[in-house]
C-alpha cells in the first residue's frame, strides 16, 4: 500500500531539478538521499549570500562602510543562532568551522581533571576529542531508559570535581532521538554539565537549550542547508572565558606587547577569544539565515519528513534480506535509516544505485565506527559496513520510491552493469559519464 503524503510546502533547495547521467546513457533527476552528510543549500540562503557578496569586507577591524555592513551581518547572525537554539541571555555564541571544530574547542576549554561521561555510539566528532583517564565511555544499552540509568550510575561513581556529559540529539547512524532532557536531569542531580551534539537534530526538530537544560550545544551549517563552512558552539561562557584561545592570532588578542625575551599577550573576551583570524562572514550569514528559515517552517518540515520516513521504512521492510540498524527498542527517529543487505557489499550497492538509478546514498561506517560495527553485527552482517538513506527538505516521494524499487531489483535480479573495485571503492566499469563543464 502506498502511503499518502501530506500537502505541505517546505522551503525550496538549490539543485532540486539537478539531472545526472547514468551509465546507460540516460539522464534522471538526482535523488539526493544523503542529507545527513551535507544538506543542499536553501534557495533563501543562496539569495541572502548573493545579496551580501557586494558588501563583503573585513569584519570588526575595518573602518570602511562595507566593513561596517559585514560586521553588522556577522554579529546579527549570533542573535539568529541564539534564537534558533533558545539560548540563555548569558550564553556565548562562538562561530566555528563545523560541529567537529566546536566540540574540539569545548574539549580544549574544560577545566583540568574534568570527568567526562559519554556513550560509545557517538559520532567521531563527539567521541574522539575526549580521551584520557578522566573519560568514561559507556556501552550503549538497547533502550533509552537503560541509557538514562547507565548515565546515572556512571556519574554517581565519577570523581569529585567538574563533570561533563556528552550526548547526541539524534544518531547520525539510525536517526534515533536520544533522551536529552532526561540526561540533563540526571546530570543536574550529580552537579554535572551537559553538552549536546545537535548536528543531526538541528535540521529536523526544534529544540531549546533552556527547555532541555543543557549547558552547551554544537551544530554545523552544512547540515542545516547552509553549506558555506560555518558551525557554532553555544553555551555557558565561564569555561570558555577561562581557557586559552583555541587558535591564536588576530581577533583573539586584545593587546600584544614586546618584553624583549617574550611577548606579553592580553587575550580578548569570549566569543572573540576563540574566533582568531578573519571571520567567515559569508558562512556565518548563511548559517544565521538558515536558522531563521527553519524556525519559520518547523511544522511543515516535520510533517514532510515524517511522512517520507514512514514511506521509506515501510518500503524497506519489503526488501528481501534487508535489516535496519537500531540502537534502541523504544525511540522515535528523524529522517535517517541505515541498513544492511544479506550477502551484498554496501559499497557495491551504493555504486550501483548511483550509476544505474541516479540515487545518492552513503555507505560505510559514517564516522561512527564503533556504533556501526556493533549494530551491523546484530544483523548478522559479516562486514561492519552499512548503507544509509537520509531525507530532508530536498527529498520527494519519487526519490523514496525509486530507492525502494532499485534496491528490490538489485537484490532479486542483480545489477545491469559490471562493477570493479579500485582504490578500495566499487566503481562502474567502462564508465563514460562526463563531469559537468565547470570541471573541464
CA 116, 122, 124, 125 torsion-angle sign: negative
- pLDDT in the model for residue 1: 46
End-to-end CA distance of the chain: 46
DSSP 13: B
Contact 284, 52 (CB under 8 A): no
Q: What mean pLDDT is predicted for residues 361-389?
A: 91
User: Do the first three CATH levels of 19-41+298-439 and 44-295 match, i.e. the same topology?
Assistant: no
The predicted-structure confidence for 144-175, as pLDDT tens digits, reads as follows 999 999 999 999 999 999 999 999 999 999 99
Beta carbons within 8 Å of 65's beta carbon, 6+ residues apart: none
Residue whose C-alpha cell reads 518547523 in the numeric block:
298
The predicted-structure confidence for 222-267, as pLDDT tens digits, reads as follows 999 999 999 999 999 999 999 999 899 999 999 999 999 999 999 9
Domain spans of the chain? 19-41+298-439, 44-295
The three cell numbers of residue 76 are 546579527
- Residue 52 and residue 428: Cα distance in Å, rounded? 42
Find, among 124, 396, 406, the residue nearest to 387 by Cα.
406
Beta carbons within 8 Å of 316's beta carbon, 6+ residues apart: 322, 324, 337, 339, 404, 407
Q: Dump the DSSP string for 266-321.
A: EEPPTTGGG--SS--HHHHHHHHHHHHHHHT-HHHHHHHHHHHHHHHHHHHTTSTT
CA distances to 170, 194, 305 from 116, rounded to whole Å, are 20, 10, 34
What integer best gives the mean pLDDT of the chain?
95
Contact 125, 99 (CB under 8 A): yes
CA dihedral 38, 40, 42, 47 (to 10 degrees): 110
Could you tell me which CATH number the domain at 19-41+298-439 has?
Answer: 3.90.1150.10
> How many CB atoms lie under 10 A from the CB of residue 57?
15
pLDDT surpasses 80 at 440: no
Residues β-bridged to residue 427: 420
- pLDDT in the model for residue 62: 85
- pLDDT in the model for residue 3: 57
pLDDT category of residue 378 using cuts at 50, 70 and 90: confident
* Cα angle: 249, vertex 254, 260; to 5 degrees: 75
CA dihedral 284, 285, 288, 294 (to 10 degrees): -120
The three cell numbers of residue 322 are 534487508
CA max distance for the chain: 79
Q: What mean pLDDT is predicted for residues 182-199?
A: 98
- pLDDT in the model for residue 333: 95
- pLDDT in the model for residue 179: 97
Task: Please confirm whether the linkage preceding 271 is cis (ω < 30° from 0).
Answer: yes
- Residue 255 and residue 345: Cα distance in Å, rounded? 57
Task: Report the catalytic residues.
Answer: 367
Residue whose C-alpha cell reads 562502474 in the numeric block:
428
Find, among 424, 416, 300, the residue nearest to 23 by Cα.
416
The three cell numbers of residue 84 are 534558533
- Residue 89 and residue 25: Cα distance in Å, rounded? 57
Residue spans of beta strands (DSSP E) within 301-393: 322-324, 336-341, 359-360, 362-364, 386-390
**Yes or no: is domain 44-295 CATH 2.160.10.10?**
no
pLDDT category of residue 4 using cuts at 50, 70 and 90: low
Q: Dump the DSSP string for 103-154.
A: HHHHHHHSPTT-EEEEETTS-HHHHTT--STTEEEEPP-SSHHHHHHHHHHH
- Residue 77 and residue 72: Cα distance in Å, rounded? 9
| The residue count for the chain | 440
pLDDT surpasses 70 at 384: yes
pLDDT category of residue 330 using cuts at 50, 70 and 90: confident
- pLDDT in the model for residue 132: 87
- pLDDT in the model for residue 6: 64
Amino acid at each position: 500500500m502506498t502511503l499518502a503524503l501530506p500537502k505541505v510546502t517546505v522551503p525550496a533547495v538549490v539543485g532540486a531539478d539537478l539531472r545526472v547521467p547514468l551509465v546507460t546513457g540516460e539522464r534522471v533527476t538526482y535523488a539526493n538521499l544523503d542529507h545527513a552528510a551535507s544538506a543542499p543549500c536553501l534557495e533563501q540562503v543562496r539569495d541572502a549570500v548573493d545579496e551580501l557578496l557586494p558588501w563583503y569586507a573585513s569584519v570588526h577591524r575595518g573602518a570602511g562602510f562595507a566593513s561596517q555592513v559585514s560586521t553588522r551581518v556577522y554579529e546579527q547572525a549570533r542573535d539568529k543562532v541564539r534564537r534558533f537554539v533558545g539560548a540563555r541571555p548569558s550564553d556565548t555564541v562562538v562561530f566555528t568551522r563545523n560541529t567537529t571544530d566546536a566540540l574540539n574547542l569545548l574539549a580544549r576549554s574544560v577545566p583540568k581533571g574534568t570527568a567526562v561521561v559519554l556513550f560509545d555510539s557517538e559520532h567521531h566528532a563527539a567521541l574522539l576529542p575526549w580521551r584520557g583517564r578522566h573519560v568514561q565511555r559507556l556501552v550503549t544499552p538497547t533502550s533509552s531508559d537503560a541509557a538514562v540509568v547507565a548515565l546515572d550510575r556512571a556519574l554517581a561513581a565519577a570523581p569529585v570535581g567538574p563533570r561533563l556529559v556528552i550526548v547526541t540529539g539524534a544518531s547520525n547512524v539510525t536517526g534515533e532521538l536520544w533522551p536529552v532532557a532526561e540526561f540533563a536531569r540526571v546530570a543536574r542531580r550529580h552537579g554535572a554539565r551537559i553538552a549536546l551534539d545537535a548536528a543531526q537534530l538541528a535540521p529536523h526538530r526544534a529544540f531549546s537549550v533552556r527547555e532541555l537544560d543543557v549547558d552547551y550545544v554544537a551544530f554545523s551549517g552544512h547540515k542545516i542547508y547552509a553549506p558555506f563552512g560555518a558551525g557554532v558552539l553555544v553555551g555557558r561562557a565561564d569555561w570558555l572565558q577561562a581557557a586559552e584561545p583555541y587558535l591564536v592570532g588576530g581577533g583573539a588578542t586584545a593587546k600584544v606587547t614586546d618584553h624583549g625575551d617574550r611577548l606579553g599577550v592580553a587575550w580578548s573576551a569570549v566569543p572573540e577569544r576563540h574566533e582568531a583570524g578573519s571571520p567567515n562572514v559569508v558562512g556565518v550569514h548563511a548559517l544565521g539565515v538558515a536558522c531563521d528559515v527553519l524556525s519559520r517552517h518547523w511544522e511543515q518540515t516535520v510533517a514532510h519528513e515524517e511522512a517520507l520516513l514512514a514511506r521509506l521504512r515501510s518500503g524497506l521492510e519489503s526488501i528481501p534480506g534487508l535489516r535496519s540498524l537500531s540502537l534502541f527498542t523504544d525511540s522515535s527517529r528523524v529522517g535517517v535509516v541505515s541498513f544492511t543487505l544479506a550477502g551484498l557489499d554496501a559499497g557495491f550497492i551504493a555504486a550501483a544505485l548511483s550509476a544505474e538509478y541516479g540515487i545518492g546514498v552513503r555507505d560505510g561506517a559514517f564516522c561512527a565506527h564503533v556504533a556501526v560495527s556493533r549494530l551491523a553485527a546484530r544483523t548478522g552482517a559479516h562486514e561492519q559496513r552499512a548503507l544509509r538513506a537520509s531525507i530532508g527538505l530536498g527529498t520527494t516521494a519519487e526519490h523514496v520510491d525509486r530507492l525502494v524499487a532499485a534496491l528490490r531489483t538489485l537484490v532479486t535480479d542483480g545489477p545491469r552493469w559490471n562493477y570493479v573495485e579500485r582504490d578500495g571503492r566499487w566503481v562502474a566499469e567502462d564508465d563514460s559519464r562526463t563531469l559537468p563543464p565547470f570541471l573541464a
